Amino acid sequence: MSISGIIPIAICHIIVANALGGMSGNLLEAFFYIPLLPVLFLVNWLLAGVMLVPINQLLQATEKLVNMDIRQRLETDPTEPTETSELRKSFNRLLNRLEESLNIQCQFVADASHELRTPLTSIQGYTKLLLRRGQSIDANLLAEALQTISDESGRLIRLVSDLLQLARADAGQAVINQQEIIDMRDVLGSVEDTVTVIAPEQIEIQFILSQTPIYVFADGDRLKQVFLNLTNNAIKATQAGGKVTVTLRSTNGQAIIRVIDTGIGIAPADQQRIFNRFYRVERSRTRSRLYGGGTGLGLAIALTIIKAHKGTIELESELNKGSTFTVRLPIGEKSEKLQQPAAAGGSTTISERAKEMASGEPMRSPESDSQLTGTADGVK
């Protein structure tokens, strides 16, 4: 209720109080106030009614909200008090957020259903073919059917695994498992071993890692999952003759990992939604060269994992020039992490690599370091 509405009501109350007081004091004053009482009560009732209108409207809107009707909005009146107007606007903003959240949820369910149905349809089709043909089926067709069933089953398992991982994150459960002190060069070295074997020969793959260990307190398997996804996406977006570069360096207490490609790039409009679930840039909607069909959940999961490690992930991209994904992770303090006792149930461990780190022994042989070309600082 605004000040402008309180003042008339207060005046009415004062007059009524004076009238009642006059009845036990000066009768002349009492007779003066008594004829005004009906008018004053009427004015008081009208003013209270006017001020209760927006409150009643808000109450009705709240009742509709309880019944999941989030499409209705409260109309604003420029003549009403500022406080009431702001209350209407705040309620409408709440409804906007709820409607947006519900739409995202509905779209997610629709996308998940579609992604689940696609491999199941292929599996069902080839299974019916095998049942219908029986032993008379051609050997080549049999091999094709079994390979398709195997591929689509794997795709289905990956999709369900991704959905469960996101569901755990939404429920506030841990998305990272056992954490230990790890050298980021080992994580990226494992990624390099995977992608250089499977990636097309027409695309140059280069890993430029720090010459010195960069330790983080993290779930190594989850970080490998993130950088496999980022590197795989970079390879998919890069045409023959292009290049994918992964760099690692440290600065200001952070491990900085960049995945850089010279591929097709990502439009500004897509960059705003690239981390949304099931969102795919149209031109890169191809099957993964590394893992078969993508689920459209990889970047959403990557963002969740990096946030769980108190890190950040950023994208810079320009159409037809390429993209750069930059991941920043806090570097763990050696003394602090090594002195932490293992929690009950083994949630925290000290790896053999951490023990070597404490003893001062080198983590990577000079021969492996000499194979690295260039420096991380020389890459944007």
Structural domains counted in the chain: 1
Asked if residue 227 belongs to a domain, the reply is yes
Q: Write out the two tokens for 94.
A: 């709440």
The sign of the dihedral angle between the CA atoms of 364, 367, 368, 371 is: positive
Asked if residue 315 belongs to a domain, the reply is yes
pLDDT tens readout for residues 249-288: 999 999 999 999 999 898 888 888 888 877 766 544 343 4
Q: What is the pTM of this model?
A: 0.59
Q: Residue 199's pLDDT is what?
A: 86
Q: Write out the two tokens for 61.
A: 């809107």
322-330 and 312-318 strand pairing: antiparallel
DSSP output for 225-266: HHHHHHHHHHHHHPPTT-EEEEEEEEETTEEEEEEEE-SS--
Taking Cα atoms as reference points, which of 226, 218, 221, 193 lies closest to residue 207?
193
Domain that holds residue 195: 180-378
Burial of 18 (0-12, 13-18, 19+ CB in 10 A): middle
Say yes or no to pLDDT of 231 above 70.
yes
> Around 368, how many Cα atoms within 13 Å sit in the side-chain half-sphere?
15
Asked if residue 355 belongs to a domain, the reply is yes
Asked if residue 170 belongs to a domain, the reply is no
Report whether 331 contacts 255 (CB < 8 A). Answer: yes
Report whether 166 contacts 301 (CB < 8 A). Answer: yes
Per mean pLDDT, which range of 26-30, 160-164, 235-239, 353-357 is the poorest?
Answer: 353-357
Asked if residue 3 belongs to a domain, the reply is no
Asked if residue 119 belongs to a domain, the reply is no
Asked if residue 307 belongs to a domain, the reply is yes
Report whether 334 contacts 262 (CB < 8 A). Answer: no
Q: Write out the two tokens for 136.
A: 């008379």
Percent of the chain with pLDDT over 90: 24
DSSP output for 330-344: EPPPHHHHHTPPPPT
The CATH code of the domain that includes 361 is 3.30.565.10
pLDDT tens readout for residues 112-150: 787 788 788 888 888 998 888 888 888 888 898 899 899
Q: Residue 133's pLDDT is what?
A: 84
pLDDT tens readout for residues 146-203: 998 998 888 788 778 878 877 777 777 767 777 889 999 999 999 999 898 888 889 9
Asked if residue 213 belongs to a domain, the reply is yes
Q: Which residue has the tokens 């002190």?
A: 181
Report whether 99 contacts 71 (CB < 8 A). Answer: yes
140/13: higher pLDDT: 140
The sign of the dihedral angle between the CA atoms of 137, 143, 147, 148 is: negative
